[in-house]
Amino acid sequence: MTKPSLDQLMKKVDSKYTLVVAAAKRGRELMDGRPRLIETRATKPVSVALEEIQAGRIGFERTKVGVK
């Protein structure tokens, strides 16, 4: 899958802010060498992270100080 739509992604998170933070954190993990959780043709870390979120492989936990 390429370019998951914002509508699909918003069903997985509670706000656009959460989506951006979760994708950025996961993108950094991928750049640091963590393995991909899904098979995809995407090459950019944030694109892979967004596809992982859309596939339900990445979640989030709301804390008092931010998203974990």
Residue 41 C-alpha from the chain's centroid: 16
Helix and strand numbers, DSSP H then E, in the chain: 3, 0
Burial 17-45 (b: 16+ CB within 10 A, else e): ebbebbbebbbeebeeeeeebeeeebeeb
Give yes or no for a contact between 25 and 13, defined as CB atoms under 8 angstroms apart.
no
**pLDDT: is 66 or 34 the higher one?**
34
* Model pLDDT, residue 3: 78
Report how many domains make up the chain.
1
User: What pTM was estimated for this model as a whole?
Assistant: 0.86
Which band of pLDDT confidence, cut at 50, 70 and 90, is reported for residue 60? confident
**Model confidence pLDDT, tens digit, residues 9-44:** 999 998 999 999 999 999 999 999 999 999 999 999
Domain contains 1: no
Domain contains 45: yes
> Can you tell me the distance from the alpha carbon of 54 to that of 68, in angstroms, rounded to the nearest whole number?
18
Domain that holds residue 47: 6-54
* Model pLDDT, residue 31: 97
